[in-house]
Chain A
Amino acid sequence: LHQNTLDFISVKNYEISSISHVTMSPSRRNNLVSMYSFPLSKSSYSVISAFCTEDNIPQCISYINQELASLGLSSTCIEAISPGDTGLSTVPALNAMYELLQIHRRSMCNLEELEREQLRKSSTLEHIQMSNTRLKDQLELSIREKSGLHETERQLQLKIKTLQSCLKTEKDEVQKLQSVIASRASQYSHDAKRKEREAVKLKERLSQLLIDRKDKKLAIDVLNCLGRADGKRRHWKTTKATSSHEDEMYKSLLSDYEASQRSLMLENAELKKVLQQMKKEMMHILSPRQPSTRGATADDSQEQVSESHTCDASRESLDQYCEHAREQLTNSIRQQWRKLRNHVERLDSQASQAQNQLESNKEVIPRETHEDEMERMRCEVQQCREFIHAQQQLLQQQLNTSFDDETAALLNDCYTLEEKERLKEEWRLFEEQKRNFERERKNFTEAAIRLGREKKAFEEDRASWLKNQFLNMTPFTHRRRYSSSDGQSALSISNEPEIRMSSVKSQLAKSSTYTTFSTPRPSQSAPVPSTTELYRTLRLIPDSRYYSVTLLVHRVLRSGGMSIFSLGEDENSFT
């Protein structure tokens, strides 16, 4: 239990001490003093060693207790074990000692801290003092400077004042001199005039005198008078003569003006031409870029329209020197010039911006790497070019070696190529079919014609035969039979087997021979073979394929057009 209470005490003491410490902090000075005084007393103890003796223990205890109480450790009283005993009760004493030690340590810590702080403070103080002195010096310096400047200013002002006064005097001087000059000039001119008048008077007098003296010497001595250089006689001075002089003068003036006007006109025309050209070129320069550069606003387009209009107008006015037109021309030129100037300025600014950007870029990217990059890119471009070139060459070669439709198509596109090929194939088939059809058609027509002719010939033969038969029965058979058997009948008979034997394919040549043979008959007409006849012929050639064609042939023969035939064939092939 005792131990417990001790612990409790110690804890409590600690708390209290901490509190006391806190409470003591405002009165730190006192505390400090007491702290300083403590070692002093300690030392006094070691030196004098007279604080506690055997005799004054209770006093000491009470004193200590008092002291402790004053330190706020009133709870821990040091007591003697017993009133008469010299021994101390250990727990409170130790507690007190502990407390004291704690306090001491804390205070030492505090002290140290404070010392450090003090050191810091003193150093900052020193620093501040230093800076203070420096600033003071500066202040002094600037004050001195200021005063110097003030001084110079004053001097300058003085100088200005003197100069101003000088200027004023100079001005006065100038004015004075000017007036002097003016007065002298006027005086001089006056004198000159006076002198001149005098001179004139003198001259007058002199000439008068000379005339009065009847100067004999004044004479002309000519051997014989000369004719005029132009061979004319001298004119009398008449009003007519004077007016003619005037006329001549004005004539010469007029001719001069005309000449100058002509030259000016020529020059003007030339300049106008130049202007026109300039304008045209300007328009040429400006117009294609307008949409890109200025975004082709409605206003712009309107302007353009008006410009073109004025341009036309001015072109017309080239011949007629109309004030209005000229104005228009110059105005439009001016407008365009302004535009051009704006454009150029814009370009300039863009260029400068670009340059700036470039420069800024340059700051970022070192020149070497930039150049390296450039070099690399150039190489790449070169390589690409070579590659392209090689490709082109190869292509060219290929084209040169086998330039047929397929390769040409190959250049275009794969899909179209395929399509094309397919179509071409179809087309080829189609063409072949067409050709076949045509051949067959021809054959059929030939055959039909031939049949018709044969039939006719046969009929005729039969007729002639019948006639012959009939005539043979008549008394005048002799002569008739002779002639007919000699000509047609013999021929037709010889012809018939030939035709029958000939194949369909070699019909063309045969038919031609046939026609030559048949021409001697004027009454003969080639009738269109009827369907039944055709059928009959076809039955001779039993082929299913030809059967379908016969219909077509029939159709063609009825409509009589090749194109329709081909169309029909198309329909056939596609359906």
Chain B
Amino acid sequence: MNFSEVFKQTNQLCKVSPDGKYLATCVQYRLVVRDVSTLQILQLYTCLDQVSHMEWSSDSLFILCAMYNRGLVQVWSLEQPDWHCKIDEGSIGLVSSRWSPDGRHILNTTEFHLRVTVWSLCTKAVSYIKYPKACQKGIDFSRDGRYMALAERRDCKDYVCVFVCDDWHLLRHFETETQDLAGLEWSPNGCVLAVWDSCLEYKVLLYSLDGRLLSTYSAYEWSLGVKSVSWSPSSQFLAIGSYDEKVRILNHITWKKITQFEHPAIIDNTKATVYKEAEKRPGVGSDEMPLHNITMGATLFNTQSKYEICPLPVQIPVVKPDPDRASPKIGISVLAFSSDSRYLATKNDNMATAVWVWDMQKMSLEAVLEQTSAVRCFQWDPLRPRLALCAGNTKLYLWSPGGCVSVQVPTEGGFQVQSLNWHCSGDSLILLGKEQLCLCYMDTDQEDNCSPDKNM
């Protein structure tokens, strides 16, 4: 495992192009595009203000830089550095900007969710979509980029609009049976739309592409409901994380619950492996090689950590949430399926230091990673069943079915990993600190070491 040198970035704006060739980073008001392999600067663009949002177009040819505080969007072309485009939303304000899947339209959401403006870079045409709903996830594009679902609020009722992205034709418009729609998400095959209600009511609705209601699911009433929803890449499962610290898995045939994963504070499931991160000061027993930690040569000058397999039962530290505060820190907030749909990683908010990995074939708990500090972010390798996570410290953690590793990021000046992103090839990771970034390259032999049975 190798690490690149550290680069500057602001607002954690750092993205690899969809084709995996370029790396775009924003530093204040500058946009820097580098070659991923050499890390040499290919282009440098100067925006009008500090960039608040940056996004690659789907064809990796254009980069969108949104400056929300000025209501401005600037688009840069990689092929024609002279080409420029500036979209000004004016005094109506801008809160969100994104590419349409074809990479020729930009969708801007104005302040107060007054409307969604669709700008065409082909014709300069502008169109408006009124009444977009301000919610957790109000817009979602289908995986193939053909359809867009938009949550809408009219006359105190929720609606869903399905647009054809090709020409923004309104394909379907239907009312949903929700009190207060909180989000919607297409299934990866683009045929089913999952819609869920706000946390006040546990309700998940499944609509067909043509607007038919396929199924309604509600696990319980009265207490706080859905917190997160995620489709498996195979479209086979819909995982619903809720405030009752459980994940419920729905199947794609009957849309009924197959199983539910509980997150108990005391783990006594003998089939699960509990990896506990153990920190140790440098010099103390550095000669002993821990079983599940491949220590890096460059980690001698910092606190080392390693994973230990805990004998069961294990008590996971639990923080009791304050009941008086809104949106309590409890329940499953993050759900992520591995690329092969084999594993599901979850995080329960009142057990911030633990990441749970579930086996979707056995429908049981596979592993629990108990960190010394709160987990910030985790992401699956786009190709392999390998989970990378960071916990706001100087280490990078990797889990695979074969075991667990903790790796010290060997940079000076206390590079603290706040967030991470996999490169689409799965060969490298982009680690984002507060104002820095660094690339981590996975060696092939290293891979073999840390995931000896990734082919299973």
Between A199, A213, A226, the greatest number of chain B beta carbons within 10 A of the residue's beta carbon is seen for A226
Q: Which of B82, B121, B126 neighbours the largest number of chain A CB atoms within 10 Å of its CB?
A: B121
Q: Does B124 contact A226, Cβ atoms closer than 8 Å?
A: no
Q: State the CA gap A416–B124 with chains docked (Å).
A: 114
A206: chain B residues within 8 A (beta carbon): 92, 112, 114
Q: Are B92 and A210 in contact (CB under 8 A)?
A: yes
A234 B167 Cβ-Cβ under 8 A: yes
Q: Is the CB of A217 within 8 A of B122?
A: no
| A222-B121, A242-B169, A253-B208 given; A207·B82 CB < 8 A | no
Q: Tell me if A228 is interfacial: C-beta within 8 Å of chain B.
A: yes
Q: How far is the CA of A193 from the CA of B112 in the complex (A)?
A: 17
By size class, the interface of chain A is: 35 or more
What sequence of 0s and 1s flags, for each residue 172-211 of chain B, a beta carbon within 8 Å of any chain A beta carbon?
0000000000000000011100000000000000001110
The B interface is mostly helix, strand or loop, or mixed, namely loop
Instruction: Please provide the chain A residues from 215 to 255 with a CB less than 8 Å away from any CB of chain B in the complex.
Output: 215-230, 234-235, 237, 241-242, 245-246, 248-250, 252-253
> Measured between alpha carbons, how far is A126 from B396 in the docked complex, in Å?
97
Say yes or no: A229 contacts B92, CB within 8 Å. no
Min CB distance, B259 to chain A, in Å? 18
Whether B167 lies near A237 (C-beta < 8 A) is yes
A62, B120: Cα distance in complex, Å: 169
A225 x B124 contact (CB < 8 A)? yes
C-alpha gap A192/B180 in the complex (Å): 11
Separation of A199 and B210 alpha carbons in the complex (Å): 31
B102 at the A interface (CB under 8 A):
yes
B contacts with A, residue count (CB < 8 A): 44
Segment of B83-91, B285-293, B358-366 engaged in the interface with chain A: B83-91
A246 to B85, CA, bound (A): 34
Q: Are B83 and A224 in contact (CB under 8 A)?
A: yes
Contact (Cβ within 8 A) B167 A225 = no
Instruction: Return chain B residues, CB-CB under 8 Å to A207.
Output: 92, 114-115
**CB of A143 within 8 Å of the partner chain:** no
**Bound complex: CA A264 to CA B251 (Å):** 13
- CB of B59 within 8 A of chain A? yes
A386 partner residues in chain B, CB cutoff 8 A = none
CB neighbours (8 Å) of B86 from chain A are 220-221
A215 touches B104 (CB 8 A): no
Q: Assess whether B119 is interfacial by the CB under 8 Å rule.
A: yes
Does B164 sit within 8 A of A, measured CB to CB?
Answer: yes
C-alpha gap A249/B122 in the complex (Å): 25
Residues of B within 8 A of A264 (CB): 253
In the bound assembly, the distance between CA atoms of A469 and B208 in angstroms comes to 133
B171 at the interface (CB under 8 A from A): yes
The chain B residues found within 8 Å of chain A, CB to CB, are: 58-59, 71, 82-92, 102-104, 112-115, 119, 121-124, 126, 131, 146, 153, 156, 164, 166-167, 169, 171, 189-191, 208-210, 252-253
Q: Which residues of A contact B (CB under 8 A)?
A: 192-193, 196-197, 199-200, 203, 206-207, 210, 213, 215-230, 234-235, 237, 241-242, 245-246, 248-250, 252-253, 256, 260, 264
Q: A197-B156, A218-B90, A245-B171 are in contact. List 13 more A-B contacts (CB 8 A).
A: A215-B92, A218-B88, A218-B92, A222-B124, A227-B122, A234-B123, A237-B167, A237-B169, A241-B167, A245-B169, A253-B191, A253-B208, A256-B189
Q: Can you list 9 contacts pairing A with B, beta carbon distance less than 8 Å?
A: A192-B156, A217-B71, A217-B91, A218-B88, A229-B58, A229-B59, A234-B122, A241-B169, A245-B164
